[in-house]
Structures are given as C-alpha cells and as structure tokens.
Structure 1
Amino acid sequence: MAAVTSSRPHHIIIFGASGFTGQFVVEEVARCAAESPDGSSLKWAVAGRSRERLGEVLSRAAERLSMPELRTHIEIIVADVSVEESLAIMCQQGVVILNCVGPYRFYGEPVVKACIENGAHYIDICGEPQFLERMQLEHHAKALDRGVYVIGSCGFDSVPADLGVLYTQKQFKGTLTAVESFLSISSGPEGSAGHDATWRSAVYGFADSGSLRQLRKKLGHKPLPVVGAKVKRGEATTEPLLSGAWQRSMEQYSIPFMGSDPSVVKRTQRFLYEEEHRSPVQYSAYVGIGGLFSVVKLFCGGLLFWFMVKFSLGRKLLTTFPSLFSFGLFTKSGPTMKQIEDTCFSLTLFGEGYSEGSDPTQGRPNAKICTQVIGAEPGYVATVSALVQAAVTLLNELHSLPRRGGVYTPGAAFHKTSLLDRLHKHSIKFSVRSYQ
C-alpha cells in the first residue's frame, strides 16, 4: 500500500492545469507558495495531456505574476485520464492532487481511483451531485482503508454554502434548526460569464437526473430527524420563509438553486449528526434572478432547456452553442479578465432556531440570525482560492480531519480546521449581519 507522505517530491499537483480554470489555479498556487517565508516550502507541479500547453501556462503565469522562475523550476507531468499508468505515476509524486478536469461524470473517477490506489489525497471543484454522491457510495470504504481523503466540491459549489451553514451554527447561541441561503451575483457593465465546461456539466447532469434518485436509494440513508418546527417550502417561491423581507427590499425574484449546494450541505449535516451527534439543520438554497423580465426569460429558456436535454440531438446543440442557449451566461471562451475583475458574489444565510434554554420540542422557533458570505468573482477567483486553501489546510492540519481517510464534503472534512479563517484572508469573508 502506498503511504501518503511529505517525502514525495511535490505537496500539490494541479491536474488539468492547462484548462480554463486550471490556469487560474496555477497562479493561485504560485502566489500561495510565495507567501511562505523562504518561498520554497510548498513544492508543486502541473499535470495534463500536453507538455507544450502546460509550458505555455507556466510562461503566462510567470509573466503575469512577475515570477520568471516558474518557467524553469516547476515540473511538468504528462498524464491523461484515459491512460491509467500515467495517472498512477502522477499520483505517486504528489501528496495532494487538485483535479480541475471536468465534467467529472466523464473524467473524474479514474483520478479518484488512481489517488486511492497510490496514496495521494484528492480535492476537486465538482458541482455535480451524481458524481459526488457516487464517489461516496463506491469509494469511501477503500479510501478510508488506504488512509486517503477524497474531498469534492471545494469551490464555489459548495464551500460558501457548506461552511456558511457551519459558521451560522457556530454563531447562533442555542439550537439552529433551519437555514435558507440566498445567492446574488453582481457584475459590471460587461456582465458576467462562465466557461462552457460548467454548462456541459449542467446539461448532462439534468439529462441524467433519474440516476441520482436511484443512487440515493442505494445509499439507503434514513431521513434526518427534524428538530423543532418543520420548514415547508414549495418548488419555487418569490418569498422564502426566512428571507422574504430581504428579497422585497432588493426587489428581486428568486428560484431554488439548482446546483450541488443542497446535496453537499445535507451530506455534511448527516455526517455531523451521525458521527458527532450534532442537531441537524434543515437547509434550502435560492438564487436571485432579477426583475419580472428576467423571470419571463428564465421561464422560457428553462422550458426549452428541459425539453432539449431529454434528447441526444438537443444535448448536442446545447453543448455546441452554449452562448446561444444560455443567453450569453456561458461561452466557449469563458469570461474576460475585465468581467472577472468586475464580478463578485454575496451569499446571505437566514437562520432560525431556539435560543439557549429553550426546548426545541416546544413551540415555534424564537430566535433568528442572518449571516453573509461575500467574495470576489465566484467561478475563477473564489473557487480557485477555496480549492487552494483547502489543499493547504489538508497539508498542514491532517490530524484535524475526520477518521483517517474517506470521501467527504468540505464541511465534514474541514469543520475542525482553520479553513474558514484561511478563506477570510483569501477572497471569501464570513460575517454576522443581524441576530435577534
């Protein structure tokens, strides 16, 4: 059995470094390495299919960061998800593999397997519940046995939501029973955009939504107990139970957030309930969509999307012309640097529960809290920062992670570490807005 050890030549290996997101990860890791006192305590490398493209990524990073040493001092590892031996060689050289190659439903599992077999910890930025939950079902036991941590969704999906709920619980004096999060993204005159890799993940995820239901049946989880009053929500609402007043003040409509946040938060709450006997929190996620015109546009576009993902030709058209069918929200070229610089996000969490000394089995909740997570552009700044800080936390605080390995959510893996404090210093800040 290969042991995870710091005697390996690299602490961090960025797999998929030449991809759109991977290029930003390279720059963030380089900055993080430079923060160390001697600038060399964090050893890292880049990996991917093309040595030439990886070299170009390092050259661009060297120029942008004024770090000429990146061109010659950073090792390039050639690895391909379709070549098992190349993945094994890559994993044997690193303590932590940052996997930036998606969609993960197609390309993620070989990397997870290679990490487990060769004793390297695995972290990704996946926002695909089918992949994340299947990795837990099929690989948790072996990862635990091998002493390897597999931690998914360590990006914008879903670090702000998952750690945001844990932060809200910590700040609440009493028993927190329910949380609603409300996501708002602000951008400059050029708007915001995402790379089409994220769009492709969404297309194939919605097309295969039936498999997620079957997967959850195989997991066989019993429903989490409901503490206090059960929060009832509809399929869509313009006034969620806890956040309605705030949304009215913002003059926005909202819909349920269709990303991985609800899945990830629920998995974390289940882990903390089963392993540490913590009181579970009910959670719902919403995203702001603007005014009435945005509602009409989203409704029409959503109907078309749902119809097209059901057929192979429709999926082909959606993935071939992402800008057309997403109304410019996703493009093959991704956002410009100007768009990235002008975009930021806020995730407002509205919680309710029972104050200290109150009995959660009696009466309605009698205390409320509002917290907020704010950060820079979510897809390629906040995500990248969260990914890299998760890796650094794992390297430095391995003793604080649960058990001795396994497949976990960010909240389950890092709830006893300093990750939240690290994020506060790197683009993602947590705060309490009100408490009553």
Structure 2
Amino acid sequence: MATGRPYQLVVFGASGFTGQFVVEEVARVAAEDELRGSLQWAVAGRSREKLQAVLEKAAKKLGKSELKSEVNIILCDVSDPSSLADMAKQTALVLNCVGPYRFFGEPVVKACVENGTSCIDISGEPQFLEGMYLNYNDKAAEKGAYIIGSCGFDSIPADMGVLYTRSNLKGTLTAVESFLNIKSGSEGSCIHDGTWKSAVYGLADQDNLRKLRRQIGHKPLPVIGRKLKGRGAVFYSNELNQYSVPFMGSDVSVVKRTQRYLHTHLNESPIQYAAYTTVGGIGSVIKLMFAGLLFLMLVKFDFGRKLLIKYPEFFSGGHFTKEGPTEKQMEESSFEMTFFGEGYSTGQDPQQGKPNVKICTQVKGPEAGYVATPIAMVQAAVTLLKDKSSLPKQGGVYSPGAAFSETKLIDRLNKHGIEFSVISKPEA
C-alpha cells in the first residue's frame, strides 16, 4: 500500500447520509489506544460547508472539539477525475461512501488503482462488485492496491460469519445456511432510500449480471459433501420458528467469491452457502408477497422504476424513506445472523456418506445500516492499515473474507459491538 502520504485514510462522501456516521466512527476509533495520536485522516466531498457541518456535528456528539481543526477537508467530485486522482494521491486508503455504486463507484476505484491507493466500500451491488473485479483486479495487483467491496452490513457479517463457523468446526465444513433477523423497537425500523435505489437498479439489471459473469468465465466451484438444497420463495423455518425468504442482498455472491479465492489460492475446501431472512408470522408473509409482486412487476419497466424511486416509502410499506431512520429507531434496532453449518468429522471423507457433524454460530450487533455498517467499514480499514502482513501477498479486487481471512478483523469487530459466538457444536 501507498506510504509517505499525508493521510492514512480519507472518508469520501462524508456528508452523505451514511458518510456522516462513518465520520463519527472514525473519530471514535482514532481516539482508541491502538491509533491515538497516530491516525492522520481527512474527509472529502463536493461542499466545504457540508463537510464542515459534519465535522462540527461529530465534534459535538462525541465531545471532541479538536475534530474541527485536526481533520482536514478535501474538495472532490465523483464527476471530476482529476479531483479524484488528487484525493487518491494524498492517502493510503479511501473509504468510499458514495452510492449507488453502479453509478458512482467505478471512477473512485479507477482513481485509487491508478494511484496505488487502497479502497473500501459498503456496496451491496453484485454487478458493481464483480464488474470491478473483471476490470481492475490485474491492475490493482500491479499497483499494490487493495480494493475491497461490501465492507458494511452487506457483507461483513455473512462473509466473516461463514469463516468463523468453519474455524470452529473440527473437521470439514461443507455447507452453511444463514438466517437474518432484524429486531426493532417501539418506532419500528427503516432504511435510507439510497439502499432502495440500489435494489431497484440491481434487480432491473439481472441480465447484465449474467453476461458479466460469463465474461469473467469462472468454472463452477466443486460441490464438496452433500449438496445444499434450495428452499422455497417463502418457507417456515423450523430452526427459528418463523417464516423466512431468501435474502436479496449481495451476501451469497460475496461469500461465493471468497470461497472461490480460498479454494483457488489457499487450496481450502469450498463451502456451499445460502442466505435467508426471517419475516415473522403469516400476516407478514402476505404483506411481503403483495409488496414483492408489485415491486417485481414495476421494476421491469422504466416508468415503474421511476415510480419506485420517487415513492420509496409507499412501495416499501415504510421500510425505506428519503429521511432514513430516526436516532431512536437506530438506538432500539439490532440484528442477529444465525448460521447453521454441517460437515464431516476429522478423518471422514466428505465425498462419502452423509454429513455427521453440525454447528450453529451467530453474529449479532446494533442497528444494521448506520451503526453496524460504519463499525464494520472502519474496522476493515483499521485491519487493512494494521494487519498488513496478514493480507494477501499482492493487491487486487477482493471480497472481505478473501482479504481478511488471516487477519484480526473478527477480534476487532468483537471488541466494537459486532459479536461472533458459537451457539452449539458437537462434543469433541
């Protein structure tokens, strides 16, 4: 990674809805023992006034008046390549908070790769993530830049959770299913409509994702052990006693990329993976099915997409809003992701017979979108800066698990409120 630059990290898009929370988290972590007095960082965006306001808000909230004078501002516009290059040249690492990434992500990656600067984002968009691998992996390796996408709620808990599950099973883990459960308080929960836009454009572009994957040309991963069976579009989970549906985020594609890397480069046995989310009782299922059918019908057409983007609150039943969650909603919300794994005990051939060991693990944490995501992103950044010897030997475009499988990221997350634990496993 680049050295001899004035900053170790820059938060780009710091005045955006998510960016402001990332700024607060960087400020918190910069005051901890590991980084106190040593982390030089800046914020970047289009408006000096908005960036200054974000620093002032963070300073007031955290009781750190020195932020306003200690953290510099870089003026930078995603539509101006020269300003992006100027930002990249000043730092070892960019934390990119400007989405939807399918529209605004590539210029940042390009500037970082060309200038030997590493970059972390919080994209949950498979088309963007896999497109960056296709277009920039070789150049990033040449330049020594680590480009690591989906370092937020999509998909740190899922990707690192699978690796955590594997590390706690004695034997060969062959398949994992995860179930996400979002808990909310008296005011419910909601998500800023930036995530809604990403979902709208992503689902409308599935054909191009398939073409992109054909261009990449990866061969299918070998299936080790019993083949993991798919579940229905809606099903009752006996494990959690709730109805569940497939998780529509990027987790499955990200985990598969990690498993491919670990299999190809480290000769590890690939793990099959499926991701689901719980939806509650039958009433919730009926509402979800109605909203889902309407969404899928509208997303196919240009006018339908315009309606979905203009009225996110109406079409999502209040789950996505232009204002985002309130402070109280964030304080009262949390998530649990439970992993059910199966495999073969030490000495048993995974290609012979049925799995004979099971394990259940869990990752839990605070509100997913704007509390857990900044924690995950910032701890990924600290890991990238501090655990250099444990990263892959050369730069490239990586998934979180591929980049961080040998690092202390899980330990760091545990210390910052995103907790990994074993719920049950076979007796030794």
TM-score normalised to structure 1 length: 0.96
- Correspondence list, 1:180-219, <5 A: 180-219=177-216
| Residue in structure 2 matching 1:46, options 21, 36, 43 | 43
1:331 aligns with 2:329: no
The 2-side partners of 1:235 and 1:267 are apart by 24
Indicate the SS of the match to 1:178: strand
Closer, same or farther: CA 38–374 of 1 in aligned 2, 3 Å: closer
The 2-side partners of 1:38 and 1:229 are apart by 46
Contact 1:381 1:427 in 2 (8 A): no
2:239 aligned residue? 246
1:354-376 deviation line (CA, Å, top 9, x unaligned): 01121212111011000000000
Closer, same or farther: CA 356–237 of 1 in aligned 2, 3 Å: farther
1:434 aligned residue? 424
Contact 1:22 1:100 in 2 (8 A): yes
Contact 2:193 2:320 in 1 (8 A): yes
1:86 aligned residue? 83
The 1-side partners of 2:220 and 2:422 are apart by 30
Q: How many residues were matched structurally?
A: 426
The 2-side partners of 1:69 and 1:361 are apart by 60
Contact 1:195 1:335 in 2 (8 A): yes
Quote how far apart the aligned CAs of 1:236 are.
2.1
1:298-350 deviation line (CA, Å, top 9, x unaligned): 11111110111111111111111111111110111100000000000000000
Contact 2:145 2:396 in 1 (8 A): yes
1:348 aligned residue? 338
The 2-side partners of 1:398 and 1:136 are apart by 21
The 1-side partners of 2:283 and 2:34 are apart by 53
The 1-side partners of 2:172 and 2:64 are apart by 49
Structure 2 unmatched ranges of 5 or more: none
| Residue in structure 1 matching 2:245, options 238, 255, 278 | 255
2:415 aligned residue? 425
The 1-side partners of 2:228 and 2:395 are apart by 34
| CA-atom RMSD in angstroms | 1.0
2:404 aligned residue? 414
- Correspondence list, 1:55-70, <5 A: 55-70=52-67
1:318 aligns with 2:308: yes
2:148 aligned residue? 151
Contact 1:401 1:414 in 2 (8 A): yes
Contact 2:299 2:305 in 1 (8 A): yes
Contact 1:12 1:44 in 2 (8 A): yes
The 2-side partners of 1:432 and 1:407 are apart by 30
The 2-side partners of 1:432 and 1:43 are apart by 37
| Residue in structure 2 matching 1:77, options 58, 69, 74 | 74
- Correspondence list, 1:219-368, <5 A: 219-239=216-236, 244-248=237-241, 252-368=242-358
Quote how far apart the aligned CAs of 1:403 are.
2.5
Structure 1 unmatched ranges of 5 or more: none
Indicate the SS of the match to 1:350: strand
352-361 vs 164-173, greater mean Cα deviation? 352-361
Closer, same or farther: CA 59–91 of 1 in aligned 2, 3 Å: same
1:174-196 deviation line (CA, Å, top 9, x unaligned): 01110000000000010011001
Indicate the SS of the match to 2:131: helix
1:107 aligns with 2:104: yes
2:2 aligned residue? 4
Quote how far apart the aligned CAs of 1:279 are.
0.5
